[in-house]
Amino acid sequence: MKNLPSLKNLFYLVNLHQEQNFNRAAKSCFVSQSTLSSGIQNLEEQLGYQLIERDHKSFMFTAIGEEVVERARKLLTDVDDLVELVKNQGEPMTGEIRLGCIPTIAPFLLSRVVKQCQQDYPQLSLLLKEDTTDSLLDSLGKGELDLLILALPVDTTGFHSMKVGIDPFKMVVHEELSGGIINPIDYQKMPDESIFLLQSEHCITGHAITACQLGNSAKINPFAATSLHTLVQMVDSKLGTTFLPQMAIDAGILKDTELNIMNPPGESPYRDIGLVWRQTTSRIATFRTLGLMLENLLAKPE
């Protein structure tokens, strides 16, 4: 058999690429800086190619080094999946799952997910991370997360997705202003810059614009909020109107406000809620079981 590279040294290389600093990378690997540096040098000697260009103050990855990092990430992820396959053989609902979720879902659903898992699958531990869609998909691809809860549609090329429910959109406006809005709502008759949305990195903005048939950008205020809670505060201050997912409304985001709920234009506009995982994972049975659990939770609002 060929003298194969050490997984440990590949792990050092991937962490160095992620941290872009030898000291931080060594700490993340729980080794000394000299150990990490020696491991990467051994890897270069074994492969017969320079992976990093160094001087006394800085370093950079070579072209082949970048390619090795990408392949090493996939290799390490496959090894993790292999270990999980053996560990959970015959017991799919056990072990740890690193679960990522977007900010427009996490505050309104994750506590219910965790509570239901603790009740139904006490041997299963969920490690949670909240981030934007793009960041979560990147972490999933790198093997840093196992499973995502996202709002669909998004580009899931290279991943598998499972729809678990829908989340309708509602329009909210201060009760003192709602009398001036005629049903059915006609956006063209609303003041310019009167509709507030989240920042563009939140996929709910695009989903709301599409689902609610908001085609006139002049009606959208250039100020973009960072969270749904900020949107609620702005609308409650009589600055305009916005769209909220039913999930957030059911969780009480409008509590102690003077906001009225209205149906936006369109045929019951909504966003899909889905699970996303790597196609190469060995835990499909576990993820599908969790998907069925999520379907039941979303079908029964709080």
State what percent of residues in the chain have pLDDT above 90: 47
Checking if the pLDDT of 31 tops 60, the result is: yes
> 58: which 2 tokens?
């800085």
pLDDT-derived band of residue 180, with 50, 70 and 90 as boundaries? low
> 57: which 2 tokens?
């103050």
Q: What's the pLDDT score for residue 1?
A: 52
Higher-confidence residue: 217 or 227?
A: 227
Q: What's the pLDDT score for residue 8?
A: 92
Query: Would you say 106 and 253 are in contact if contact means Cβ atoms under 8 Å apart?
Result: no
| pTM higher than the cut 0.75 | yes
For the ranges 94-98, 113-117, 203-207, which has the lowest average pLDDT?
Answer: 203-207
Higher-confidence residue: 3 or 249?
A: 249
**Mean pLDDT confidence for 193-215:** 80
Query: Would you say 272 and 151 are in contact if contact means Cβ atoms under 8 Å apart?
Result: yes
Checking if the pLDDT of 89 tops 70, the result is: no
pLDDT digits over 123-140, tens only? Answer: 999 999 999 999 999 999
Query: Would you say 286 and 88 are in contact if contact means Cβ atoms under 8 Å apart?
Result: yes
For the ranges 89-93, 157-161, 239-243, which has the lowest average pLDDT?
Answer: 89-93
Pairing of strands 159-174, 259-262: antiparallel
pLDDT digits over 150-176, tens only? Answer: 998 888 888 999 999 999 999 888 888
- CA-CA distance, 161 to 281, in Å (whole number)? 12
